[in-house]
Chains A and B, each alone.
Chain A
């Protein structure tokens, strides 16, 4: 009922916003806990109990896992991690672990709350944060409704103190900024991602039916579909968070302007990359134990990251390719690694985008056979019918095609402006009312014209 991005969800967020500022900041986490419960119960009652159970186990284990607590600190750490991660492994990978075993019930948000709880436990263990004495607060953190569907991953010491110290007074300006960001997220989802999805689904369903130009177009569209879908969702959540006075972690920073794969992972799904860096790559030794060990750690982290996305060989291969690319980059000469010149950036950005498009084609494919058929099509099925026979890719008219290209161009243009340091919302806020209204009217009618409503099938990353 409250699935993002339904209107019911927006109404729910608006109601929360109204109540939020009526409570003193130290009590807001209780309201958030109630909101989490309503949100979770409306989508998947089983997940409500799963989050509560995992939170209880981790909350209980955390103070006992602190070194010096007793002889069994390691055992408590293992127990806590097991409580957080074993359900994820068992429920998500049952089909892969035992061939023929049907995929078991997977609670909503499992991949997200599991890692957040594991991160909390490890932070307590490392004594970065003190163990939380109140179970309800750990539960509130793990089931945070703005992150439960598909992130971003929050850190306990970043999210929870904010709740207690969020701005006491309602601010219209904050609401406007939050609404602007949220609206941009809706535009990305409905006008870009859901329109691109039509083309992508058609091409991946039967790659043998399309020529090279159509397949290449669809794989590029998939890059934008995934970006618009995922970052659109993130914009919605961060926008709502902003209206509540919360600064949630950014998940994207103009990823298609990265000049290397390594840089990409500091711009794409940032909160997940940071989680793997802090809780896997660095504990494995990071880059501190020589080049060979560093490369091995990179590859292992990338493989785990691939597997986190699901029990499919395509994710494993995709993860391996991401790891191998980063390993290769480590051995390139300096101007191609960190201190890039304008020239190496100019070459690196399109090259990296090409790597992204190719590797994410494997990521999108339903199986390795499907991916192979796709690449075979690109190599062997000559042709250039992509724009002449747009209907073959599921588009209903030339206008449909034009709107797709315009949507993609809008997303790219905004990213370039952000990369150049242009702060769109601040500039709009400072503009005279006439200009602001003109921009708002254009945005409203552009959205109404471009949004594609009836083919929506949820968010791509929600399934991970």
Chain B
């Protein structure tokens, strides 16, 4: 790179320099706001609507569900509250990693009279090695946490250090709109797109998916891709260090705040758990962890009573997510189990000890569908 001549020009005085600097900074901030308005697609974000709704009713919320899409697609707070008499809210977000769950729990504990946390523990997130591998998972939370929340900044710092703040001030980096949608987005932003209760931007009739309130997302349709596993479990390390450490701090925090923590895995298709090597190691680790921390682990993939929890090929929208119909069935069974547990009953007997027992004795219809397909 050629070096310029460093001839001395007329240098403005310090006051003028400070003024020019402030003007430049103000111009930069204004441009940033303008570009964010013009280019960011935040209207379509479930987590925007979800957190906006949560803050509006935070004072009443005593129970939360946290976790990835398995949380927001599986637990319908209305169904659960009808049985338990609680005021629950689903704080699940796409690809939510364990550190995201931790900071959401802390945020909820600072805003709500929290009594119970149901932590959805789909195993892939607990096998990530670091949060920055999936930065979008963090931004889906931090973009919409209230500006005064310390956990918003703590989470960003932990995830990506100072660099993560570039995404905070300039979300265009991770949430840029499709060019074809820009005009519709501008119109939506100016005409009630952000209004409470407006679900128009989080309803997708063509994809068969819609936000239904209190964090719950209802999906229509069944799996067109079978039930192949996303990831096998390592027998000797069923959770990554990252997953284990975050699980530990979630448990410690809940214990210190007197919040009841229950670890829950929403039902996975029997064909899926059969296809996942060493899934039993994960179950055993979670059970051991729950015992060690005086809590419980309910894995509904191993639920014994297949008549009560009558889900199968018609109840999964893809390889491992429940669809809306499956979620309604599951939420009812979950609420019944939670009610028994709240009444002091031991519910561990409702679940098989091993994956092998479940597959041998009461697999769901996905297993036979896969076997028939193979034949």
* Interface, chain A (partner B; CB < 8 A): 7, 171-174, 177, 181, 184, 235, 238, 242, 247, 250, 252, 399, 418, 421, 423, 425-426, 429, 437, 440-441, 444-445, 448-449, 451, 453-454
Contacts and interface: CB of A to CB of B under 8 A. Distances in A.
Contacts of B135: 454
B6 A423 contact: no
Nearest to B169: A448
A247 B3 contact: yes
B163 A454 contact: yes
Interface stretch (B24-32, B71-79, B313-321): B24-32
Nearest to B133: A454
6 contacts: A181-B1, A418-B2, A421-B2, A449-B170, A449-B172, A454-B133
Contacts of B176: 399
B4 A423 contact: yes
B27 A441 contact: yes
Contacts, number: 62
B253 to A, nearest CB: 26
A173 B163 CA distance: 28
A454 B160 contact: yes
A418 B1 contact: yes
A7 B160 contact: no
Contacts of B7: 173
Given A173-B8, A181-B1, A423-B4, A453 B163 contact: yes
B179 to A, nearest CB: 10
A250 B31 contact: no
B166 A448 contact: yes
B310 to A, nearest CB: 38
A454 B132 contact: yes
A174 B5 CA distance: 10
A444 B6 contact: no
A174 B8 CA distance: 9
Given A177-B4, A235-B1, A453-B160, A441 B9 contact: no
Interface footprint category on B: 20 to 34
A426 B7 CA distance: 10
B35 interface: yes
Nearest to A171: B6
Given A440-B24, A449-B170, A173 B9 contact: yes
Contacts of A451: 166, 173
B117 to A, nearest CB: 28
Interface on chain A toward B: helix, strand, loop, or mixed SS? helix
B147 interface: no
A184 B3 contact: no
Nearest to A448: B170
Max chain B Cβ within 10 angstroms of own Cβ: one of A418, A421, A448: A448
Nearest to B39: A449
Contacts of B24: 437, 440
A401 B1 CA distance: 27
Given A7-B162, A172-B11, A453-B160, A445 B6 contact: no
Contacts of A423: 2, 4
A437 B160 contact: no
Nearest to A419: B2
B38 to A, nearest CB: 12
Contacts of A173: 6-9
B27 to A, nearest CB: 7
A454 to B, nearest CB: 4
A247 B7 CA distance: 16
Given A7-B162, A445-B170, A454-B133, 19 more contacts: A173-B8, A173-B9, A181-B1, A184-B1, A235-B1, A238-B1, A242-B3, A423-B4, A425-B4, A441-B28, A441-B31, A444-B28, A445-B31, A445-B35, A448-B166, A448-B170, A451-B166, A451-B173, A454-B132
A425 B2 CA distance: 9
A449 B4 contact: no
Contacts of A172: 11
A446 B132 CA distance: 22
B12 to A, nearest CB: 9
B267 to A, nearest CB: 30
Contacts of B3: 177, 242, 247
A174 B11 CA distance: 12
A250 B1 contact: yes
Contacts of B162: 7
A177 B6 contact: yes
B364 to A, nearest CB: 32
Contacts of A247: 3
* Top 9 closest pairs, chain A to chain B, by CB: A426-B4, A453-B163, A454-B132, A425-B4, A448-B170, A7-B162, A454-B135, A423-B2, A173-B6
A193 to B, nearest CB: 15
Nearest to B35: A445
Contacts of B1: 181, 184, 235, 238, 250, 252, 418
